[in-house]
């Protein structure tokens, strides 16, 4: 998937929130739950990677700013 079509961090967080809300309902199908769990796990991993990249970028910018 190209970066132009890649969901933003905000979109991914919103989707993960939707999945969490889905799990909070009283009655759900176990097969669907497995699929939702896998989707949520993949989203969480992607979000974690994006946050790590952002943290690294901020650290680099901070070091650059402090050295000037």
Between CA 34 and CA 60 the distance in angstroms is 39
Report pLDDT digits (tens) over 41-61.
999 999 999 999 999 999 999
Q: Taken in order 32, 36, 42, 46, is the CA torsion positive or negative?
A: positive
> Up-side HSE of residue 14: CA atoms within 13 Å toward CB?
5
pTM, to two decimals = 0.79
Tell me what pLDDT residue 27 has. Answer: 87
Domain boundary assignment for the chain: 3-67
**pLDDT band, very low/low/confident/very high, at 32 (cuts 50, 70, 90):** very high
């Amino acid at each position: 998937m190209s970066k132009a079509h890649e969901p933003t961090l905000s979109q991914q967080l919103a989707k993960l929130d939707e999945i969490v809300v889905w799990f909070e309902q009283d009655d759900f199908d176990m097969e669907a739950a497995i699929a939702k769990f896998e989707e949520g796990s993949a989203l969480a991993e992607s979000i974690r990677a994006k946050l790590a990249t952002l943290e690294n970028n901020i650290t680099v910018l901070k070091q650059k700013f402090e050295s000037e």
